[in-house]
Amino acid sequence: MDIDILITFFLTSILLTLSPGPDIIYVISQSISKGIKPALMTSLGLTSGLLFHTFFVTIGLSLIISENDYIFNMIKLLGVFYFLYLIVTTFKNRNIKKESIIDNRSSNHFFRGLIMNLLNPKVSLFFIAFFPSFLFHNNINNEIQFLILGSIFWMQATFVFFSVSLLSSNLNLFSNRYAYVSDNIYLFEIGVYIFIVYWIVS
């Protein structure tokens, strides 16, 4: 087993997770607009999706999806519709206090993050391209190594997202102090959703 390869994979994964992208921006937006607990549950949902993508890559499902334009585009389209739904919901709830919104239950934030990740086929494409470069043992079949690499990626992503949630929650405290910022934070959320839609279709 080549430990150096695993260490390189771990460090590279952290850098990639920290790079500006829809997931980390979404986590930050949840922490700022809704607070630390919703952000943590959203993070857990997003990273749980990584485990599904790892499994899809391992059994070859991701490769099938990547080679079938119809299925790939259908998943992307579902993702776009989902975020359009979130935009409409956020706008409708803009004048309702956070404490009164049923959607603020922890389970809803978890499943929202999970669905967001699963409806992003680019994650599987990334794993297909990324994992083979870090195979670390000649006597272990590739599928087992993919599962190990996926687990490592999941662990670091969970740590990074949790850390980002905690750090950006300070901005939530700031926004709650000022009525104008608090009343218009929904515009920031909608802006993030629009960015994610653009990222999905691009």
Answer yes or no: are the C-beta atoms of 11 and 160 closer than 8 Å. no
Q: What is the mean pLDDT of the chain?
A: 87
Each residue of 172-187: pLDDT tens digit? 655 555 555 556 778 8
Q: Which residue has the tokens 């630390």?
A: 36
Q: Is the dihedral of CA 142, 145, 146, 147 positive or negative?
A: positive
Give the pLDDT of residue 107: 82
Q: Does position 68 have pLDDT exceeding 60, yes or no?
A: yes
**Calpha distance 183→158 (Å, rounded):** 30
**Calpha distance 17→45 (Å, rounded):** 15
Q: What percent of the chain has pLDDT over 90?
A: 53
Section 105-113 average pLDDT:
87
Q: Does position 143 have pLDDT exceeding 60, yes or no?
A: yes
Section 86-103 average pLDDT:
72
Q: Which segment of 11-15, 28-32, 143-147 scores lowest on mean pLDDT? A: 28-32
pLDDT band per the 50, 70, 90 thresholds, residue 10: very high
Q: Which residue has the tokens 């009164």?
A: 100
Tally helices (H) and strands (E) across the chain. 10, 0
The CA radius of gyration of the chain, in Å to the nearest whole number, is 18
Question: Which H or E run contains 39?
Answer: helix 36-59
Burial of 127-164, coded b for 16+ CB within 10 Å and e otherwise, reads: bbebbeebbbeeeeeeeebbbbbbebbbebbbebbbeb
Give the pLDDT of residue 56: 94
Q: How many C-beta atoms lie closer than 10 Å to residue 18's C-beta?
A: 14
**Calpha distance 65→195 (Å, rounded):** 24
Q: How far is CA 6 from CA 52, 98, 130, 133, 147, in A?
A: 21, 43, 13, 11, 13
